[in-house]
Amino acid sequence: MTTRSETIIRIPTLRTPNLVLRAPGAQDYEAYVAFRASPRSRGTGGPYDRTASFSHFAELIGHWVIRGYGRWVVADPETDTALGIVGLMYPEDWPEAEIAWTVFDSAEGRGIAFEAASAARQYAYDVLGWSTVISCVLPDNTRSIALAKRMGATYEADYAHPEMGSLGIWRHVGPEALA
């Protein structure tokens, strides 16, 4: 006799004053591929072709299964248009768990990364019970460094990633500082 069971993936939806952080869906794939193919993706190791982008997109969902947390698609609350990817990640070759952010071209300069990354950090502290978190940033990614500083993070050290090279580790303020 064959029995059947299911694995249910639970990805919470977060709402901020101007954004929705939700599970990635098929409707987000083309925007994700366009970002990953663009020069802007250099901050995440790109540019990438469609095949690599598909694996990375699927990884967004898989991370929730393996770690119990992950990254969300940041969407416009009115149109549900994907504006970027923000959330928590801890790949096998990373120094520790981090808040990661990428904003698609059409959403640049609107404060989206700050609002979404702040919500992700609050989730890490309030829901997951973390006491600290980092962000890893390429040294020439001045916009991400500025965002890390705006969030109150301070430079801690360099990390030599085997594929991406030198990354700056930016330590975020802990939950007690946000209270």
pLDDT digits over 80-131, tens only?
999 999 999 999 989 999 999 999 988 888 899 999 999 999 999 999 999 9
pLDDT digits over 133-151, tens only?
999 999 999 999 999 999 9
Task: Please state the pTM of the whole predicted model.
Answer: 0.93
CATH H-level, domain 14-178: superfamily: Gcn5-related N-acetyltransferase (GNAT) (3.40.630.30)
What pLDDT is stored for residue 162 in this prediction? Answer: 86
What does the pLDDT average to over 6-20? 94
Domain map of the chain by residue range?
A: 14-178
What pLDDT is stored for residue 102 in this prediction? Answer: 93
Q: How far apart are CA 151 and CA 68, in angstroms?
A: 24
**Contact predicate 116/84, CB 8 Å:** yes
Residue 164 clears pLDDT 90, i.e. is over it: no
Supply the Cα-derived Rg of the chain in whole angstroms. 16
